Structure 1
Amino acid sequence: MAGYLPERSDDRHLLGGKRQRNSVDSRSNFLLILPLSSNVSLPVMFAQKIRRADIASCVLLLVVLSPSRTFGQETEKRLNVLLICVDDLRPQINCYGVSGMATPNLDLLAAEGRRFEHQYVQVPTCGASRCSMLTGRYPHAEGAYDNDAFLALPTSNGADVSMPRLFRDQGYRTISIGKITHRPDGLRDDTHTPELAEAWDEVGMPTGRWRTAWDAFFAYADGSTRVPGKTPATERADVGDRDYPDGLIADAAVEKLEELKGRPEPFFLAVGFIKPHLPFNAPATYWALYDEQQISLASNRCPPLGVDPTISLHRSSELTPRYTGLATAGVVTDAEARRLRHGYYACVSYVDAQIGRVLRALDENGLTDETIVVVWGDHGWHLGEHGIWGKHTLHEAALRSPLIIRTPHITLPGEATNGIVESVDLFPTLTELCRLPRPEGIDGSSFASLLTNPSGTGKSAALGFWANGRAHSIRTPRHRLTRWSTAKDRDRPIQIELYDHQLDPEETVNIASDHPEVVRPLLEQLERRVPLLQRQSGG
């Protein structure tokens, strides 16, 4: 499938043509850390970059956490893993049936692999969702329901098993570039140690002209960052791809693949892109792909009938008052909604192009036939549905996200599956595909069978978690049931929601009171499977 050719000549590397080097060198600033016991000498390139006087002010690109390990001879070459995580990406992709979206690289990957139509994240917020995916576990405590979920994990010897740690223990070279955990560079803000302990050989993020990874996460093209309440929610800048951080992340991934092709051990490379997270900033090339006046608005822009929105919805605080651009705070006019949607679409196309660069590098380095590729969105995002701009709900718009997997020699490539899968299932699926030991003590289960038989049924239901243990949701092939309680008394629900996705796929009417025969068994299943509810009931 051919991709469009961008208008700017310096952007020919996006989807076609020869990959170009840019004057921005993604390796220009970084910090190197080695274990105190290491006797590994610094490469000349690293030694020249680090001066004692500059350590405090240098910009982090990559933290090397351990010297290379000796890789034993294998009787059979093991598959590599390329895990691509995309922030705030809902299934707003052409291959998911959203016509008019310019996403040729994701479309091509889906045509060569498997598209999962019903993949559900565990928690509708970045940190907790990624923590569940990487550990294969549901939230087991209140602290695991929010963006501080990684802080609750062990940080030293005896750390809980995680996806990259298991691969690392099995002899894989594990690298994290960009936002894979919650912090954009993968490092705790307080200790500057990895959020996921004992997992990575290398972890970091290129920051370019921005002072820190967190500044780069909210980047504007002039090198500035978000100032809450004073900077705009969108930016259309006449710049190249590398003038925003995702272009630098793609650069770093491309260079890392060139390096990894010559190593003897298999690799687990995780690449995390920032967009389409707010602010919706992208090069003008990608804004030009859409006619703002032709962009349609959400058809379900009101809270569902039969619910108390003060319990289950919010005031879109991700958007307002954190960003400017609304004439009236808290009110989004149709014109403003089109502008916001336009920015989101442009960001999706921009990140699609960066993913295309990484996938093309995989092919150019002869690694495609020995690498499993995963593209995963960490949760969905309301673009005006139910009057919400953001995530942080237990509705379909926030919990359903894209998942595309391509394996070498996949059967029935291009066939989608409707089987239900959860993010916690990705960990055991990848270990099965790579013939590694199944992780112990996890909640997920492998869906590898759906990669050989897309017509399989998948799971009977997926679970959603939110509000520090006050809210939980269960999604079956037909229904979604959501249970809300107070923090003091989780045994007593204060709101039950039930939606019939065969008759009401946009979740506009709560029918719980009309169908107790559906509510009762779903509630029982939810209370049986959710760890916090099990403990509350003594189960």
Structure 2
Amino acid sequence: MLRKVNLIIACALVVLSCKEHTKDQTLADSSITETKRPNIIYIMADDLTTQAISAYGGIYKDIAPTPNIDRIAKNGMLFQDVLCTNAICGPSRAAILTGNYSNKNGYYKNESGGKFDASQWTFPQEFQKNGYQTSMFGKWHLGTEPKGFDVFKYHNSAGQQGHYWDPVYNENGVDVKEKGYSTNLSTNFALNWLETGRKKDAPFLMVLQYKAPHRPWEPDHKYETLWDDIEMPYPATFNDDYKGRELTAGDTEMTMDYLSRRDMKLEEPADLKGAEKLKWAFYGAKPGELVQPEGMTNEEGKKWRYQRYIKDYLACVKSVDDNIGRVLDYLDKNGLTDNTVIVLTSDQGFYLGDHGFFDKRFIYEESLRMPFMVKYPKLVKPGTVNKDIITNIDFAPTLLDLANIKTNQKMQGDSFKSILAGKTPKDWQQAMYYHYYEFPYWHHVQPHYGIRTQKYTLAHFYYNIDVWELYDLEKDPHEMNNIINDPQYTNVIQDLKSQLKDLMVKYDDNKSLADFRTITDTDFGAIVDKKDDETSVRDILNQ
């Protein structure tokens, strides 16, 4: 009898144990399912351009290679035709966050553009709502505190532009001054969060946004003299004479003639303070203020300024590349690579002496095209290249789609997840709409809107001029010949103008020119309430 009782108890314990094991296994399976949702690391450098990334080729690829950025392209998909809807820092960031054009998200300009409307939906909020751990490190530059992030630490000096050295960060609402070089620091914060700040059993979205290589292009000390003994090559369009584009490309303040003493890293007199200090540093940013050694001709001075500029810019990119390598290495060492989506991009392109320019803003290729690459082993075939037209309003819906997050939020952009899988939808967009509003500060670039197809760019410059430009990108990839008055293109122009009108209606931006000019003229406020040494520069220069 005792043996029978013991047998019954033993069987009961086995059944109970099996039930507990099943319960534990269910929880484990649930955890596995949760962790199989992909992690996403979105990396965006400021003013990084395709010409500075060796995976895209170009004249600097052997002199200043970017091996770690290239690792993303080599093991993922490199995009050749990702385009910016408004090629300037803040508005591009707003478009990326909301999936909407400037006229929808309300953030048109940097200068007098006010603060980004933080009450509106952004894609990180959707990730957070759907169980993702979220964090943001580096440059924000929207005049608000980030929303949708469990943790954030963003540049909060110089009008949220930040400083390269010993920068001030806003850490979850509190300003903290850090010691060191900002590109390294932002990566330190990101890696520390990956190691100790997140839970290991839930997916994460991490946004890492570098200040570099934004002006004033201050390299890490170890790279300050990296290319002192060589002469950097010059872009093919370095000596553009702007023939046929005199009122647009030829009437800007972003040529090599407008690089300042600060840009050239000239030694500042020790006794200067306040406004006088700023006037000295930014001498060169106004017409007629050429910064160059005495005795140089204009041509020699132009080349001298370019050499100092391009070496500093590429040295800043080198630090970005180093730090992206640190992130990739961390993922490899911690078994996170296979289940992590890595996105590398910029807020727009940038001119590296192309057309004699620095900066961005134009619909022209160097500023319109954004570097963009995605690595995700579970979906993206390594070493692939895509040439479809994609815009920055497409980023948000795509990231949500990759995470299998469904949302009722309306966005003007579309997901290109299927393109990442190697399948371009038959009805995918064949053209994109562009609109830039800011004038005259900074850099005196005429407001314009336009259409870009894979073969043509058509733009209308409208603020205080009425100029149309057309470029045949197959015959004239450098956009040196404005063919708007060429009778051979009459039908092409009519077709493009019709497509442009349709796009303006589609994106609800079919306003009158008077309305567009009103946006340009409207002072929406400053990005920050309290002026500091950088935000008052315009006033100093305008005295």
1:481 to 2:439 alignment = no
Alignment of 1:464-479 (within 5 A): 464-468=434-438, 470-479=447-456
**Alpha-carbon shift at residue 129 of structure 1 (Å):** 0.5
1:178 to 2:138 alignment = yes
Q: CA RMSD in A?
A: 3.2
Alignment of 1:104-123 (within 5 A): 104-123=67-86
Checking the alignment, whether the CA contact within 8 Å between 1:428 and 1:438 is kept in structure 2 is no
The equivalent residue for 1:22 is none
The equivalent residue for 2:235 is 298
1-structure distance, mates of 2:53, 2:252: 26
1:397-455 Cα shifts (integer Å, max 9, x gaps): 11111011111323431111111111111111111111111453211111112211177
The equivalent residue for 2:405 is 436
1:303–1:118 CA distance, 2 compared to 1 (3 A): farther
1:343–1:119 CA distance, 2 compared to 1 (3 A): same
The equivalent residue for 1:7 is none
Amino acid at match of 1:359: L
2-structure distance, mates of 1:149, 1:81: 33
User: Once structures 1 and 2 are overlaid, which stretch shifts more, 302-311 or 315-324?
Assistant: 315-324
Structure 1: 5+ residue stretches without partners? 1-71, 226-241, 488-492
**Alpha-carbon shift at residue 176 of structure 1 (Å):** 0.9
1-structure distance, mates of 2:250, 2:86: 14
**Alpha-carbon shift at residue 309 of structure 1 (Å):** 3.0
Checking the alignment, whether the CA contact within 8 Å between 1:287 and 1:346 is kept in structure 2 is yes
SS in 2 for 1:529: helix
1:439–1:390 CA distance, 2 compared to 1 (3 A): farther
2-structure distance, mates of 1:97, 1:323: 30
Match of 1:521 among 484, 495, 498: 495
TM-score, length of structure 2 as denominator length: 0.71
1:455–1:258 CA distance, 2 compared to 1 (3 A): same
**Alpha-carbon shift at residue 310 of structure 1 (Å):** 4.7
The equivalent residue for 1:8 is none
Checking the alignment, whether the CA contact within 8 Å between 2:94 and 2:105 is kept in structure 1 is no
1:306–1:415 CA distance, 2 compared to 1 (3 A): same
Alignment of 1:75-154 (within 5 A): 75-76=33-34, 77-91=36-50, 92-98=52-58, 99-100=61-62, 101-140=64-103, 144-147=107-110, 151=114, 153-154=116-117
Amino acid at match of 1:385: D
Checking the alignment, whether the CA contact within 8 Å between 1:127 and 1:148 is kept in structure 2 is no
1-structure distance, mates of 2:460, 2:159: 37
Alignment of 1:259-274 (within 5 A): 259=196, 262-274=199-211
Match of 1:169 among 125, 129, 137: 129
Query: RCO (CA 8 Å, sep 6+): is it higher in 1 or 2?
Result: 2
**Alpha-carbon shift at residue 149 of structure 1 (Å):** 9.5
Amino acid at match of 1:522: L
1:136-179 Cα shifts (integer Å, max 9, x gaps): 00111695221279856543xxx322111111111112111111
The equivalent residue for 2:195 is 258
Amino acid at match of 1:498: L
How many residues get paired? Answer: 427
**Alpha-carbon shift at residue 484 of structure 1 (Å):** 1.6
Match of 1:315 among 242, 245, 253: 253
1:220–1:169 CA distance, 2 compared to 1 (3 A): closer
**Alpha-carbon shift at residue 536 of structure 1 (Å):** 3.3
1:484–1:150 CA distance, 2 compared to 1 (3 A): closer
1:356–1:215 CA distance, 2 compared to 1 (3 A): farther
1-structure distance, mates of 2:398, 2:214: 27
The equivalent residue for 1:507 is 479
User: Once structures 1 and 2 are overlaid, which stretch shifts more, 100-109 or 212-221?
Assistant: 212-221
User: Once structures 1 and 2 are overlaid, which stretch shifts more, 86-95 or 356-365?
Assistant: 356-365
Checking the alignment, whether the CA contact within 8 Å between 2:77 and 2:375 is kept in structure 1 is yes
1-structure distance, mates of 2:410, 2:509: 19
2-structure distance, mates of 1:295, 1:439: 50
SS in 2 for 1:174: strand
Determine which structure has more spread, i.e. the larger CA radius of gyration: 2
Amino acid at match of 2:245: V
SS in 2 for 1:270: strand
2-structure distance, mates of 1:148, 1:436: 35
Checking the alignment, whether the CA contact within 8 Å between 2:164 and 2:211 is kept in structure 1 is no
User: Once structures 1 and 2 are overlaid, which stretch shifts more, 145-154 or 273-282?
Assistant: 145-154
The equivalent residue for 2:309 is 340
**Alpha-carbon shift at residue 379 of structure 1 (Å):** 0.8
Structure 1 vs Structure 2: percent identity of aligned residues? Answer: 29
2-structure distance, mates of 1:400, 1:265: 35
2-structure distance, mates of 1:495, 1:412: 44
1:466–1:532 CA distance, 2 compared to 1 (3 A): farther
Amino acid at match of 1:376: T
TM-score, length of structure 1 as denominator length: 0.72
